[in-house]
């Protein structure tokens, strides 16, 4: 069988200085013709970029775990303030966005209390003003706009369908422990450790980890729970009942480095601290994400 020629990249647009003529044609009356391609080119185009990115991001400046409303707000602010940082977001789900594709109880409008509405103007999301709070007509408008802005930032990498399944915890000469990175695996692998063996994970080291994995659930509150089993936290506070007026300021004002090298933001913090949940109001997720970005900048400067 004749060998199949394999190109490393797409066919060059120019050959020997002359524009290559492809039989392409953008016509919607039955004559639409694509530039030629080989299946191997498609695979290589993806593999090369994905694994080059993975290779490069093994050492990151900041890892954000979880791309829900808190994680994405954090990524937006941090990447805007510090375009020099390599910010790597790890999201367990195929679809980033966490619970912010709906406003609450499977309903589409999203409520955001003032003054967090300023963030909506910053990212260009329209809303209706109800006085003390604003309403975005569809939560997906907020999430997709924020996600598109975060992904367009050159210093941000998002690896979705990838779960953080452990923390890297180093000990210095004085015996102090510090979170120094995350252990990752493709989520489908992470979910199958009970059925298959030898599926060892990968590592990403970074001086700052920001965990935004939400409240307890199949994977939620991951880092807070790991702090307990690793002996860095005595016990979880466990999220308390719903109280919007207590919950939102508590989450924002308590967003902090809870263990050396690890910042918690969003609802994960309620599990760590034992603070209330707020239900379907998202201002605290935005403001907590922004505060986590400010905290991270402070740690990196110190």
Binding residues for substrate: 70, 91-92, 99, 164, 200, 215, 267, 277-279
Polymer length of the chain:
302
* Nearest to 113, CA basis, from 136, 145, 92: 136
Closest CB 78 distance from ligand AHZ, rounded Å: 15
Binding-site positions: 70, 91-92, 99, 164, 200, 215, 267, 277-279
CB 64 within 8 A of CB 90: yes
Pairing of strands 133-136, 202-205: unpaired
Neighbours of 56 (CB within 10 A): 12
Alpha carbon 73 to chain centroid distance?
A: 9
CB 213 within 8 A of CB 265: no
Q: How far apart are CA 103 and CA 105, in angstroms?
A: 7
* Nearest to 164, CA basis, from 217, 215, 115, 226: 226
Tokens linked to 20: 């290559």
Q: Which is nearer to ligand AHZ, 75 or 278 (CB)?
A: 278
Q: Which is nearer to ligand AHZ, 91 or 117 (CB)?
A: 91
Closest CB 253 distance from ligand AHZ, rounded Å: 16
Neighbours of 179 (CB within 10 A): 27
Tell me the torsion sign for CA atoms 289, 79, 50, 148. Answer: positive
Q: Which is nearer to ligand AHZ, 44 or 186 (CB)?
A: 186
Closest CB 54 distance from ligand AHZ, rounded Å: 15
CB 93 within 8 A of CB 161: yes
Closest CB 90 distance from ligand AHZ, rounded Å: 5
Closest CB 67 distance from ligand AHZ, rounded Å: 5
Positions in the binding site for ligand AHZ (CB under 6 A):
65-71, 90-93, 98-100, 163-164, 212-215, 219-220, 222, 266-267, 277-279, 282, 285
Closest CB 279 distance from ligand AHZ, rounded Å: 4
Q: Which is nearer to ligand AHZ, 44 or 215 (CB)?
A: 215
Of all residues in the shown chain, the one whose CB is closest to ligand AHZ is 68
Q: Which is nearer to ligand AHZ, 10 or 109 (CB)?
A: 109
Q: Which is nearer to ligand AHZ, 5 or 117 (CB)?
A: 117
């Amino acid at each position: 069988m004749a060998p199949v020629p394999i190109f490393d990249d797409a066919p060059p647009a120019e050959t020997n200085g002359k524009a290559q003529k492809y039989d392409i044609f953008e016509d919607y009356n039955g004559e639409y013709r694509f530039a030629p391609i080989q299946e191997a080119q498609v695979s290589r185009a993806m593999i090369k970029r994905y694994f080059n990115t993975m290779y490069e991001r093994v050492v990151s400046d900041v890892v954000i775990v979880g791309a829900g409303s808190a994680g994405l707000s954090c990524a937006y602010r941090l990447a805007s303030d510090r375009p020099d940082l390599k910010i790597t977001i790890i999201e367990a789900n195929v679809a980033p966005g966490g619970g912010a594709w709906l406003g609450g109880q499977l309903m589409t409008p999203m409520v955001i209390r003032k003054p967090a509405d300023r963030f909506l103007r910053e990212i260009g999301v329209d809303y209706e003003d109800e006085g003390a709070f604003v309403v975005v007509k569809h939560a997906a408008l907020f999430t997709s706009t924020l996600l598109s802005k975060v992904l367009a930032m050159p210093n941000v990498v998002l690896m979705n369908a990838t779960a953080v399944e452990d923390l890297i915890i180093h000990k210095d000469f004085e015996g102090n422990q510090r979170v120094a990175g995350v252990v990752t695996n493709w989520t489908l692998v992470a979910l199958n450790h009970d059925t298959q063996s030898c599926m060892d994970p990968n590592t990403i080291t970074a001086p700052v980890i920001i965990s935004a994995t939400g409240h307890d659930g199949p994977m939620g509150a991951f880092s807070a729970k790991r702090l307990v089993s690793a002996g860095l936290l005595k016990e979880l506070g466990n999220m308390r009942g719903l109280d919007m007026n207590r919950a939102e300021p508590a989450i924002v004002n308590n967003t902090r480095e809870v263990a050396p090298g690890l910042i918690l933001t969003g609802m994960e913090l309620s599990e760590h601290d034992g603070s209330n949940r707020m239900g379907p109001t998202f201002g605290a997720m935005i403001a907590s994400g922004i505060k986590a970005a400010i905290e991270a900048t402070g740690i990196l400067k110190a």
